[in-house]
Structure 1
Amino acid sequence: MQQESAELIALKVLGWLASDEEIFLVFLGSSGISAGELMARAGEIEILTAVLDFVAMDDTWVNACAAATGLDPHDPMRARQALPGGAEIHWT
């Protein structure tokens, strides 16, 4: 996956996240970022990777996001792997 495609997927995930008030508030609380700062920095790689990492913590969130956005449930992790710092870890 190209980085540009990964960024577009991450923006879709961010849009879904922002539309779910309960989960969005959990994200804001756990990340320490304000809603205003998040919106101002939404296109930055650091923000996009944080969003993908956060949503990927819960399979229920991943599936809900995929259903709402039309993404494949694997797309958020594929996107995360395509962004800086997201390469798969090989333990061997």
Structure 2
Amino acid sequence: MNKTSAEALAAQVLGWLAGDDERLMSFLGMTGAEVGDLRHRANDPQFLGFLIDFLLQDEQALIEFCDRTNTPYDAPQRARLLLPGGDLPNWT
């Protein structure tokens, strides 16, 4: 996976969320974004990272997304590492 495919996966997450009003409203509430922001920020790597963060916080949502899009279950986590804020510090 590279940055381009990570961004593409995050865009898929956005499309999947757009089809689920309850989860979409939860995402908007958590991020403070508005519906109009979605199209405008769909190419913002940091915003794309937020989308994947949101997906990763809910195992059931992660499984549903991956099953619906035929995405390997570990792909969102791998994608997150390639987007801004996804690299974890090594504290050892």
Q: Tell me the TM-score normalised to structure 1 length.
A: 0.92
Asked whether the 8 Å contact 2:46–2:85 carries over to 1, the reply is no
In structure 2, runs of 5+ residues without a counterpart are none
Q: Equivalences for 1:2-81 in 2 at 5 Å?
A: 2-81=2-81
What's the secondary structure of 1:46's corresponding residue? helix
TM-score by length of 2: 0.92
CA shift digits 1:26-85 (9 cap, x unpaired): 001111111111122111112101101111001111001101111111111110001122
Measured after TM superposition, the shift of residue 87 of structure 1 is 1.6
Structure 1: unaligned runs, 5 residues or longer: none
Q: What RMSD over aligned residues (CA atoms) do the two structures have, in Å?
A: 1.1
Paired residue secondary structure (2:79)? helix
Are 1:38 and 1:47, in contact at CA under 8 Å, matched by a contact in 2?
Answer: no
Percentage of pairs with the same residue:
39
Aligned length: 92
